[in-house]
Amino acid sequence: MGNQTLKKILFYNHSGCENRGCEAIVRSSAELLKQTGAEIILSSDTPEFDRKLCLPEVRRVVGSTISPYSFERIVNSVAFRMGQARENEVARKYAPVIRYGRGANLCLSIGGDTYCYNEQEHMRVINRRLRKAGSPLVLWGCSVDPELMTGSTLEDLRAYHLIVARESITAETMDSHNMPVIRWVDPAFTMETENVSLPEQFAKAPVVGINVSPLVLGKSGNPERTKNAIVGLIRHILATGEDQVALIPHVMWEHDSDAVLLKEIKNVFADEERVMLIPDNLLATQYKKMVSYLRLLVTARTHLSIAGYSQNVPTLVIGYSVKARGIARDLFGEETNHLIRAQEIETENQLIYAYDMLNERAENERDFLKRRIPEYTQGFDRVLQSLQDVARA
């Protein structure tokens, strides 16, 4: 069903598909919005990488910033040294985003985690320029840390014409600040899967998936202790059953690579055939398909947990922020038993206990997810109507 209001949609605030969660948001959002008939443009921090992927509903991938070797970057650098205002320097650097945003009927800020961390100066500048130009702005599928709702971050959030929160903690926080907010699921819950060749170990015995990230180690407050807890959990799985263990990466950024960390963990089990390291070059759709074959999943990455939940796989999340807490609360009615906070892992026994509880309720949880996910993911028609209303306003 076409919509004359939505002829061009810009996806911006996208860090790049080397984070397979970011890729999942792009793929699922574009698929959901294709019914509008709009041309979808993706502004990416890693356009060369993203162009190599098959993103069928994305018409064009463009860079978020001017080239570091361009004449414009040189001019910007010189102008800053001559006293150009900081905001003007940032606006020049992100000129492509602002240019494409001014030409769009709707601008979706798709970095769902953006406001879970520190102040985002570039977003404040981009949004201010686009708002001034009259571009409709939507913060899409987001989580926002309530503790960041002050100062410049609060000012930036007020630039959005609509906030689509992916969990209730964020929705309630936005509502308490009189923000225009609706709640729907993270769009990645709706992403389709793509066939993938499975490692031969999958045919030998049930498989437990394990994911851990450098980010969650850092957030834990004691990276070495948390890493040792993961190693202890794997030893426990091997010692108490016949399960295989699949180490699954989901973010491959150079500065935050699951693959590098999981390779270190695999090296601890170098001679153990039951521990396998999954390749780091699969698509988000393929990782989601692989997850569907797991018996259980323990993961630090939110979008790998979303793959697990949406494929009815009993999942334990090692969480550190509002997004994991909110999703667990909305799905199950509580965080307890479904999430262990990274900051609270002091011994491997805590993680082993949480895993054993997951193992104990696994079949009941799988049955629960089969019933719950279809209900949980309903409601996109209401969201689409809100997007159209924003575009028309």
pLDDT tens string 62-72: 999 987 666 56
pLDDT of residue 1: 43
CA angle (168 as vertex; 163, 170 as ends), nearest 5 = 50
* Nearest of 151, 152, 145 to residue 174 by alpha carbon: 145
pLDDT of residue 119: 82
Asked if residue 20 has pLDDT above 90, the reply is: yes
Contact between 321 and 116 (Cβ < 8 Å): yes
pLDDT, tens digit, 9 for 90 and up, residues 125-149: 999 999 999 999 999 999 999 999 9
Asked if residue 217 has pLDDT above 80, the reply is: yes
- Judged by average pLDDT, the poorest of 14-23, 25-34, 111-120, 365-374 is 111-120
Q: Helices 322-332 and 168-176 meet at what angle, rounded to 10?
A: 110
Phi, psi of 283 (to 5 degrees): -80, 160
CA distance 277 to 210: 10
Asked if residue 101 has pLDDT above 70, the reply is: yes
Please give the average per-residue pLDDT across 215-235, as a whole number: 94
Asked if residue 5 has pLDDT above 70, the reply is: yes
Mean per-residue pLDDT of the chain? 94
Q: How confident is the model at residue 79 (pLDDT cuts 50, 70, 90)?
A: low
Please give the average per-residue pLDDT across 256-283, as a whole number: 97
Asked if residue 78 has pLDDT above 70, the reply is: no
pLDDT of residue 77: 62
Contact between 325 and 319 (Cβ < 8 Å): yes
Please give the average per-residue pLDDT across 164-182, as a whole number: 97
pLDDT of residue 85: 75
Tokens for 123?
């977003």
In SS3 terms, the chain reads as CCCCCCCEEEEEEECCCCEHHHHHHHHHHHHHHHHHCCEEEEEECCHHHHHCCCCCCCCEEEECCCCCCCHHHHHHHHHHHCCCCHHHHHHHHCHHHHHHHHCCCEEEECCCCCECCCCCHHHHHHHHHHHHCCCCEEEEEECECHHHCCHHHHHHHCCCCEEEECCHHHHHHHHHCCCCEEECCCHHHHCCCCCCCCCHHHHCCCEEEECCCHHHHHHHCCHHHHHHHHHHHHHHHHHCCCCEEEECCCEEECCEEHHHHHHHHHHHCCCCCCEEECCCCCCHHHHHHHHCCCCEEEECCHHHHHHHHHCCCCEEEEECCHHHHHHHHHHHCCCCCCEEEHHHCCCHHHHHHHHHHHHHHHHHHHHHHHHHHHHHCCCHHHHHHHHHHHHHC
pLDDT of residue 118: 81
CA distance 281 to 18: 9
pLDDT of residue 371: 98
Percent of the chain with pLDDT over 90: 87
Instruction: Write down the residue that tokens 């990274």 correspond to.
Output: 342
pLDDT of residue 194: 97
CA distance 172 to 251: 29
Q: How confident is the model at residue 83 (pLDDT cuts 50, 70, 90)?
A: low
pLDDT of residue 3: 55
CA distance 198 to 336: 33
Contact between 342 and 319 (Cβ < 8 Å): yes
pLDDT of residue 44: 97
CA distance 102 to 80: 24
Domains in the chain with CATH codes = 8-185+377-392 (3.40.50), 200-376 (3.40.50.2000)
